[in-house]
A and B are shown apart, each in its own frame.
Chain A
Amino acid sequence: MSLATWTRDLALGARFAVTGGRPGLLRTLLTATGVGFGVALLLLAVSLPNMLFQREVREAVRAVDGSEQIDSPRADSFLHLGRTTTYRDDVVTGLLVTPEGDAPPVPPGTAELPAAGEMAVSPALSELLDSPEGALLKERIPYKVTGTIGPAGLIGPSELRYVARVDFLTTENFDGRGTRYGWSVPEEPMNAFLVLLVIVACVVLLLPVLVFIATAVRFGGEQRDRRLAALRLVGADIAMTRRIAAGESLAGALFGLLVGLGLFAVARQFAGAFTIWDVNAFPSDVVPLPALAVIVLASVPVASVVVTLFALRGVAIEPLGVVRVSTPRRRRLWWRLLLLAAGAALLVPLMGEVQVTETRIDSTGVVAGTTLALIGLTTLLPWLVEAFVKRLHSGPVAWQLAVRRLQLSSGTAARAVSGIVVAATGAIALQMLFQAMERDFTELTGQDTSRAQIAVGADARNADEARGMIDRIARTEGVAGVIGVIESRVWRPGPLKGSEEWAPTTSLRIGDCASLGQFATLPSCKDGDVFVFLAHGAQGNPDDAQVTGAARPGATVVLRDPHPHPSAPKPPKGTPLPQWRIPATARIVDSRPDPTGMYQYGVLATPSAIDAGLVDEPDAQALVRLDPAVPDAADHVRNTAAGIDPTSWVRDLKDIQRDAAFSSVRTGILVGSTLTMLLVAASLLVSTLEQLKDRKRLLSSLVAFGTRRSTLSWSVLWQTAVPIVLGLVLAVAGGLGLGVVLLKMGGQQVQDWWAFLPVVGIGLALIAAVTLLSMPVLWRLMRADGLRTE
């Protein structure tokens, strides 16, 4: 067989793909679209590692280099403070810089360091600040916009970021001192369980895409077979017809590749518009890994030829027509079970091998095992459908038509559904993993959002200033109530004893009775009262003795550290240590969780009990209850806090805290599952419509002798439903099995055996959707036009 003959036959087949009028073009377009979507998804998937890597690179490039300890100011040194705030649902990050010399470095992405009180902003933040929606945020970031941060200073095009030059940073309120940007920040390695999830998700999401591509290259198979029969009539031999068929599929697959590349090119342009897995990428970062891209691009045409030749095995193309092998070979069970067993053999030894505390995992074993198990299940479906429908008896006409159709040719239906088996099996297994892991990655914070929703803290120069801050927050729009305290410390006076390295100390909180009652269970309280409250070692807090060693009823304490660290700023010489005697009437009470969920301990004093003006380095602390009726109440509070002190801290209180990485993976899998299911539905719909079109004449003749529309509609429903239901049964069994094995890998228990129900629901919705979407075409085909021959 010469190369020229191959080329000629393939070229002839390729010509058939584009000629042959509207139906031919439509078929090629369908194949190209199907393959194209698959290829685009695969290319995006193989771009993900690079996207994540580039994100790390970008973060490292703009980070202040902290590898060198700089103790004193230099010409190129600067103090810096990172600021992260939430505006509505978006995160805004900022870097505040105070140069110490005249040659500070220019932050990455900016043309120059902004002047004092000015800032450079990312394009997305600039747009937000210029819009009416950004008005509240503008109050919080009061610097004048004088520059733009370019891509070199951003991790994604939609990132909300600013770099501002300020003059208020000191070594008391800074994050650190730097002289240059660009530092390799070590990323926290992903937990082994998350890696397991990601691996299984990738396999589960990508296998249906491959199945879809294999289905897409077979679109229009029956029409093609008839065309090949015509070629046999004019002298083509069997080998030639197969090469021509391969050429036709190849052309469709190559068009599909072009469509896929086009879709990928378009999709990467929109990479910045979407945030998936917390990744909002620049188009230039969405680059497939070369080796994987080559595999994708090469495997699609090869797969198209292989699938076509494989499909022609059971077909004898004769000059007078196509003859399907009348008694198709019985499907063998053994090799399908062998695949499953091989998958299990790879996965089972890994049971108990994955530890929560580890970050390493045998990814090759998991990928190979999961892939083999899923492929084994997929190949099991045609056997199951065949074995099952063989045993079905006829019932009503619609059921009989569907069952007989499946008995005659169950392969087409099983192939179309195989994508569902993979997607559903994987989804069930992942769902089980999620439920088991949710406990590990989701913790109840213990925060009581019924008492407060935001915590604000700021340094004050003195008690009056601290009280003023709390009052300002209380007066802020949208604030329904404030638990406000002035926080400082008390120390035991006198010399250090024994091995003591510092004077025993505990916290001091000054506030009204209502506020103090949020920290401890107070039997009664009036202005002038003092309490020593003990946490009894809860949450790892110190023993009660340590607290009472520093402060107890009747004891005198000092309000400034009597033995400060040598590096700490010293008060003017001769300044006496302020003293305070805890009244002997002070009561010892039990601590209770404050709205942040923490058991605090120390001394609680009402305003009349102590001269607050004497306390050292007071902080203002406000736990804020918001008025739900006021829109943007939280942002008003954040604005007030920023207005009080740009270095103040604001913390949102939440009942439940989810691990960020866990949430990201979950979101990613949800997005991927949705896309996969849509792809499966599209594949199923195309295959159903194609079957209907091939039966146009038959449908018309059935209508001619009075067959009801509803009879044929029900028949289509049964024809779709039987393989899907069987596929779901297989998926439920396989998914539960795979889920159990994956859980056992980490020594986890199954939380909910009914985890498959949502997936079954989606499967049933697919049946309904495919049937409903097929109806218009079915009804159109049932017109008498199909009987016309001229």
Chain B
Amino acid sequence: MNTAPQDPRVPLLRAIGLDKAYGSTPALAGADFSLRAGEVVAVMGPSGSGKSTLLHCLAGIVRPDAGTITYDGRELTALSDTARSALRRTDFGFVFQFGQLVPELTCVENVALPLRLNGEKRKSAEARAVEWLARLEVDDTAAKRPGEISGGQGQRVAVARALVTSPRVIFADEPTGALDSLNGERVMRLLTDASRDTGAAVVLVTHEARVAAYSDREIVVRDGSVRDAEWAV
């Protein structure tokens, strides 16, 4: 959780000239990106264009082959794996398309998990988790396991989990990809409303225009290359 005041002109997260290849397949080739505090940016592009890889690099999950990423004045690429993990626990939240909730934990335990990983006591972590479940309108799922709830409910639980640590950046990779349009819209509304309430920025990877419509700004990834018009270097 991080609530330090931020100069709105200075990007909170900035990437310059990112290269990343998986074997001989290039995923990113000189990609640039920037994100201001509280901003919702949609990353769009066709399948296989490198959207998810860009997200993974920005979140410090994957180290780029070349280029630099700066977060809040710190060079992310220079941090150790342990430091990047700690950053992900405290400053970032994640929502993926599927496979993110631990099937054997109840929903409230799933939401409380990031807090507990940060060392918070179980009771207080679960109390906060229940609050977030209520905000995301899924408090009735608290005692259920992921296998016992619908896909839409599952994604809202995942959003609650992403927000529970009050992160400064939420990374959402196709968060509505497995949902019908009604559920998808509900999830997006709750995600963006909650992030705006807390001041969290959102990096939203999607290939759907109606999902991207919830963002403040859209960028397009094509063949691993990004052109961010506003913050181009």
Residues of B within 8 A of A408 (CB): 103-104, 145
Q: Are B85 and A787 in contact (CB under 8 A)?
A: no
Q: Are B52 and A704 in contact (CB under 8 A)?
A: no
Contacts A705-B94, A706-B85, A784-B56 known; A404 to B102 CB distance under 8 Å?
Answer: yes
Contacts A324-B147, A407-B104, A701-B100 known; A394 to B88 CB distance under 8 Å?
Answer: no
Encode contact with B along A300-333: 1 for CB under 8 Å, 0 otherwise: 0000000000000000000000011010000000
Q: Are B105 and A404 in contact (CB under 8 A)?
A: yes
Q: Given the complex of chains A and B, what is the CA–CA distance between A790 and B224 in angstroms?
A: 14
B99 at the interface (CB under 8 A from A): yes
Closest Cβ of chain A to B44, distance in Å, is 15
Q: Are A704 and B59 in contact (CB under 8 A)?
A: yes
Contacts A704-B59, A705-B88, A705-B94 known; A401 to B117 CB distance under 8 Å?
Answer: no
A472 at the interface (CB under 8 A from B): no
B59, B93, B104, B122: which contacts A401 (Cβ < 8 A)? B104
Q: Given the complex of chains A and B, what is the CA–CA distance between A99 and B98 in angstroms?
A: 90
Residues of A within 8 A of B2 (CB): none
Q: Are B47 and A701 in contact (CB under 8 A)?
A: no
Interface size on A, residues (CB 8 A): 28
Tally of A-B Cβ pairs under 8 angstroms? 84
B113 at the interface (CB under 8 A from A): yes
Within A674-711, the residues touching B (CB, 8 Å) are: 697-698, 701-708, 711
Closest Cβ of chain B to A31, distance in Å, is 25
A106 at the interface (CB under 8 A from B): no
Closest Cβ of chain B to A534, distance in Å, is 82
Q: Are A788 and B117 in contact (CB under 8 A)?
A: no
Within A373-405, the residues touching B (CB, 8 Å) are: 394, 397, 400-401, 404-405
Encode contact with A along B59-74: 1 for CB under 8 Å, 0 otherwise: 1011000000000000
Q: Are B117 and A707 in contact (CB under 8 A)?
A: yes
B89 at the interface (CB under 8 A from A): yes
Q: Are B114 and A705 in contact (CB under 8 A)?
A: yes
Q: Given the complex of chains A and B, what is the CA–CA distance between A234 and B61 in angstroms?
A: 37
Q: Are B52 and A404 in contact (CB under 8 A)?
A: no
Q: Given the complex of chains A and B, what is the CA–CA distance between A703 and B86 in angstroms?
A: 11
Residues of A within 8 A of B117 (CB): 397, 705-708, 711
Contacts A404-B105, A704-B88, A705-B93 known; A788 to B52 CB distance under 8 Å?
Answer: yes
Residues of B within 8 A of A67 (CB): none
Q: Given the complex of chains A and B, what is the CA–CA distance between A706 and B118 in angstroms?
A: 9
Q: Given the complex of chains A and B, what is the CA–CA distance between A704 and B61 in angstroms?
A: 6
Q: Are A790 and B104 in contact (CB under 8 A)?
A: no
B105, B113, B122, B147: which contacts A326 (Cβ < 8 A)? B147
Q: Are A404 and B99 in contact (CB under 8 A)?
A: no
| Nearest chain A residue, comparing its CB with the CB of B114 | A705
Closest Cβ of chain A to B157, distance in Å, is 13
Encode contact with B along A586-617: 1 for CB under 8 Å, 0 otherwise: 00000000000000000000000000000000
Q: Are B89 and A789 in contact (CB under 8 A)?
A: no
Q: Given the complex of chains A and B, what is the CA–CA distance between A405 and B97 in angstroms?
A: 22
Encode contact with A along B7-39: 1 for CB under 8 Å, 0 otherwise: 000000000000000100000000000000000
A407, A702, A787: which contacts B56 (Cβ < 8 A)? A787
A324, A400, A701: which contacts B105 (Cβ < 8 A)? A400
Q: Given the complex of chains A and B, what is the CA–CA distance between A784 and B92 in angstroms?
A: 16
Most chain-A Cβ atoms within 10 A of its Cβ — which of B47, B61, B97, B109?
A: B61
Q: Given the complex of chains A and B, what is the CA–CA distance between A409 and B104 in angstroms?
A: 8
Encode contact with B along A774-790: 1 for CB under 8 Å, 0 otherwise: 00000000001001111
Closest Cβ of chain A to B220, distance in Å, is 17
Q: Given the complex of chains A and B, what is the CA–CA distance between A397 and B93 in angstroms?
A: 18
Closest Cβ of chain B to A778, distance in Å, is 15
Q: Given the complex of chains A and B, what is the CA–CA distance between A324 and B92 in angstroms?
A: 33
| Nearest chain A residue, comparing its CB with the CB of B97 | A789
Within B73-112, the residues touching A (CB, 8 Å) are: 85-90, 92-94, 96-100, 102-106, 109
B116 at the interface (CB under 8 A from A): yes
Residues of B within 8 A of A324 (CB): 147
Residues of B within 8 A of A703 (CB): 61, 85
B216 at the interface (CB under 8 A from A): no
Residues of A within 8 A of B173 (CB): 787
Q: Are B147 and A790 in contact (CB under 8 A)?
A: no
Q: Are B92 and A705 in contact (CB under 8 A)?
A: yes
Closest Cβ of chain B to A618, distance in Å, is 87
Q: Given the complex of chains A and B, what is the CA–CA distance between A324 and B87 in angstroms?
A: 36
Contacts A698-B100, A789-B97 known; A706 to B88 CB distance under 8 Å?
Answer: yes
Q: Are B52 and A397 in contact (CB under 8 A)?
A: no
Q: Are A704 and B145 in contact (CB under 8 A)?
A: no
Q: Given the complex of chains A and B, what is the CA–CA distance between A323 and B103 in angstroms?
A: 13
B208 at the interface (CB under 8 A from A): no
Contacts A788-B52, A790-B52 known; A400 to B109 CB distance under 8 Å?
Answer: yes
Residues of A within 8 A of B103 (CB): 408, 698
Q: Given the complex of chains A and B, what is the CA–CA distance between A394 and B117 in angstroms?
A: 14
Residues of A within 8 A of B92 (CB): 705-706
Closest Cβ of chain A to B97, distance in Å, is 7
Residues of B within 8 A of A707 (CB): 85, 117
Closest Cβ of chain B to A23, distance in Å, is 17
Q: Are A706 and B145 in contact (CB under 8 A)?
A: no
Residues of A within 8 A of B109 (CB): 394, 400, 404
Q: Given the complex of chains A and B, what is the CA–CA distance between A697 and B105 in angstroms?
A: 16
Q: Are B52 and A787 in contact (CB under 8 A)?
A: yes
Q: Are A701 and B94 in contact (CB under 8 A)?
A: yes
Residues of A within 8 A of B116 (CB): 397, 400
Residues of B within 8 A of A400 (CB): 105, 109, 116
Closest Cβ of chain A to B30, distance in Å, is 20
17 sampled A-B residue pairs with Cβ under 8 A: A324-B147, A326-B148, A401-B104, A408-B103, A698-B99, A698-B100, A701-B96, A701-B100, A705-B93, A705-B114, A705-B117, A706-B86, A707-B85, A707-B117, A708-B117, A787-B173, A789-B52
Interface residues of B (CB under 8 A from A): 22, 47-48, 52-53, 56, 59, 61-62, 85-90, 92-94, 96-100, 102-106, 109, 113-114, 116-117, 122, 145, 147-148, 161-162, 173
In the complex, besides A707-B117, A787-B173, 8 extra interface pairs with C-beta distance below 8 angstroms are: A401-B102, A401-B105, A703-B85, A704-B94, A706-B117, A784-B56, A788-B52, A789-B97
Closest 8 CB pairs of A and B: A706-B89, A697-B99, A706-B88, A404-B104, A408-B104, A784-B61, A701-B100, A405-B104
